[in-house]
Structure 1
């Protein structure tokens, strides 16, 4: 008896330009995704709640609620955050950075290659859904911070941290390499899987991560900046240790 094929992963495309929406939808459909489409921000939020897509492709310039507000509301919702790939015609770096600060996992600036978008969507989903290797599934600790790779949970003290998929991956990578300095280019390659890209993406995610794991993000003690070199995680005591069979309490 033949096994049933795995259900197609659902992607919500939020784009008000009919031509762009048709092209993006067509390429993603041919890549094997089940596609839903919303032409404005309110419809995007309603469809996300109703369909629970595995990823949202989100244009920033939308009628009604703009993409930044949609992303903000998606991140403020209950449950695990849905990965977001932003599309924007805006060339200003500030707009891209603001989108990343709100929790977007990736972005493309118009005009863009639809094939590149398909690759970016696949890369974001692969990282969000991939189970950790068995040898790397043990929980890690650094001070009062505990991270469980298998459950994809991070707890500080008695409080569970609301991390995006990319923030979790970045924190986990740094915890697994305590005391090592990584440049932004190296983090882009190891955590994002990109051999090239805008390194300001790393800067934004480090800043967001510090806001969630540091007592004072302006004077970080856990994730240090090594000037002209990159970033280093400095766990208290003798470094990040495996938590063994200790439970991570929410």
Structure 2
């Protein structure tokens, strides 16, 4: 069901957020593209905006500002993986060859989090829920439907996520060279070697997919709003998708998925 009513199992992507140089412009762009509602949050949360769709939290948008002497975060969507113990996951990340970029911290009473990179350099977040479990709606138009790791070292990445968060990896039927990331035997994301055509120098990364009712129409709307197309709409095994950028340069994918019973 699109509405999430059960806790996210450890290892499952549970939230995405965007760091944008112009936070309000990003909120306006995604609200126009997907039908979200959102506003800059209170000062005690650093202005973090929890965007909603159909009254449920769907994604976060924050201002990309330098913190603690560090440079401003890149303009990208970050995938957060659920954990039942962020501190233990942080230790496992260190032991498995990852790098902790932002140590575990409390987010008020909402949860505990850290930011890290895997051995191939892909950045991701870890979220230990308390009052806030994560996205309250998924897998329908305007909401996240898939999280995909594009990596320069598939073998090392698979071993890393298995060791740190218990995420399994197995070839995905009908998609040569593509791997499902699974938790408890259920696919929760995907992994593939860095795709052909990706510009040289692009690091390993997690790509967020948003479900849409019409991929071509969504891309046209995005372009009119100042976004750009990295890979125009095309048909693939899971549906019709495109890879795009918002007006501030954050890449993401949109897909109109095939019905579950369609081959």
Range into which the TM-score falls when normalised by the shorter chain: under 0.3
Which structure has greater strand proportion?
Answer: 2
Give TM-score scaled by structure 2 length: 0.26
Which structure has greater helix proportion?
Answer: 1
Higher gyration radius (CA) = 1
User: Comparing both chains, which one has the higher relative contact order based on Cα–Cα distances under 8 Å and sequence gaps of 6 or more?
Assistant: 2
